[in-house]
Amino acid sequence: MSLIPPHGGTLVDRILKGDAAAKASQEAKNLKNITLSPREAFDLEMIAIGAFSPLVGFLGEQDFARVCREMRLANGVVWPIPVILSPADEVTAKINVGERVALNDPKGRLLAVMSVTEKYRHDKDLEIPNVYKTTDDAHPGVKIVRGQGNFNLAGPIDVITPTHEPEFPEYRLPPAKTREAFAAKGWSTVAAFQTRNPIHRSHEYLTKVALEMTDGLLIHPLVGETKSDDIPAETRMACYQTLVDLYYNKDKTMLTVMPLAMRYAGPREAVLHTIIRKNYGVTHFIVGRDHAGVGNYYGTYDAQKIFDQFDLPKDLGVTILKFEHTAWCNKCEAVVSTKTCPHGPADKVAPSGTKVREMLKAGQRPPQEFSRPEVADILIKWAQLAE
Ligand SMILES: [Zn+2]
């Protein structure tokens, strides 16, 4: 039995152990320090634990340019979105190539030491239209890039503490640990489902269809930085755990979290999500409609079509499970898609997001064909407190 190899061949581990960590902490006291943005801090953790393998640090200029233009690192390995360190210009002005610098989290606590190998102009005019397919400042990903510095610092990182505030520590398994768990369970094929929303009946269906094809299922919600109007991670985790407890075969299902900061880059982000899951040991990745999108910047199925640009077995090695929009059909008495059901929209139970929020605020469960009652009750509690 063998697991899928990590992206680029080697699972990265940039976390210093024992004496090396103590030495680096000591060294950091005499170094200039950089306070990371929330996104940079999440990226540092993703690099540290190997979720961003083969990256060992923040991208240099050649990697940055080729990632923006061609979705590849300079060495040809597929990588869709720049992972960069882009502090304010007055901070980078004081840092020289060849120096070691301390990297602190947004609250000023030491995370890592970095060897600065490059300092280069942050070409936002190359990054924004290529990665986000829009230059609209109202796009949350574009807005973040515009607010970043005009220079990037690159170099490998040696991490002392990946994060000082691990949300959901019991669910926060790094790639090495999910891989161990899959091996222990005897799973060589694993389907993963990415989500930043509560799981309702239609998505429960997708995950179960996927599991019919694989040895195991990883429900892998994102708990890194999201938009302020997304449902809080704590509420979502309660929904996921309740659903797994009551409606999934626990021997075949794992629930763990991923500390990634969303970019909302739609298609390119779907590729990033796939690479990350491969590093966690996943072989089959579910990509539904509007994956990782926001507003109307991307076509409904753009995040599926982008994979056609790759030689999938060679470039990614993950099977992409592309799903149509699904909903409960009263005539079929099942969750269906346009692929599997001949009936029209009038037969579907598909209340709008706005309608669902109204019902929850009023203390009403949405129809059970849309949402499991136990999940609805958790959301009602949240919606009423959020008032
Ligand atoms: Zn039908």
Residues 380, 356 contacting (CB under 8 angstroms): no
Residue 387 has a pLDDT of: 60
Residue-wise DSSP of 5-30? PPTTSS----B--HHHHHHHHHHHTT
Q: Which is catalytic among the residues 14, 196, 268, 372?
A: 196
Q: What is the mean pLDDT of the chain?
A: 95
Q: Is 146 noted as a catalytic residue in this protein?
A: no
Distance 1 CA to ligand 1 centre (A): 40
Question: What was the pLDDT predicted at 228?
Answer: 66
196 in active site:
yes
pLDDT tens column, 313-325: 999 999 999 999 9
208 Cα–ligand 1 center, Å: 19
Write the burial class of residue 128 (CB in 10 Å: 0-12 exposed, 13-18 middle, 19+ buried).
Answer: buried
pLDDT at 304: 95
- What is the H or E stretch that residue 125 is in? helix 124-132
* pLDDT score recorded for residue 145: 97
- Give the pLDDT confidence score for residue 289 in this predicted structure: 84
The one catalytic residue among 33, 197, 289, 357 = 197
The parts of the chain modelled with pLDDT lower than 50 are: none
Give 361-372 pLDDT, tens digit per residue. 999 999 999 999
Query: What pLDDT shows up at residue 224?
Result: 75
Q: Rounded to the nearest whole angstrom, what is the distance from the C-alpha of residue 202 to the centroid of ligand 1?
A: 14
pLDDT of 386 reads 77
Query: In this structure, are residues 28 and 113 in contact, taking their beta carbons and an 8 Å threshold?
Result: yes
Tell how far CA 316 is from the center of its chain.
16
Please tell me the distance between residue 15's alpha carbon and the centre of ligand 1 in angstroms: 52
Q: Whose CA is closest to 44, among 132, 164, 141, 127?
A: 164
Query: Distance, CA 344 to ligand 1 centroid (Å)?
Result: 7
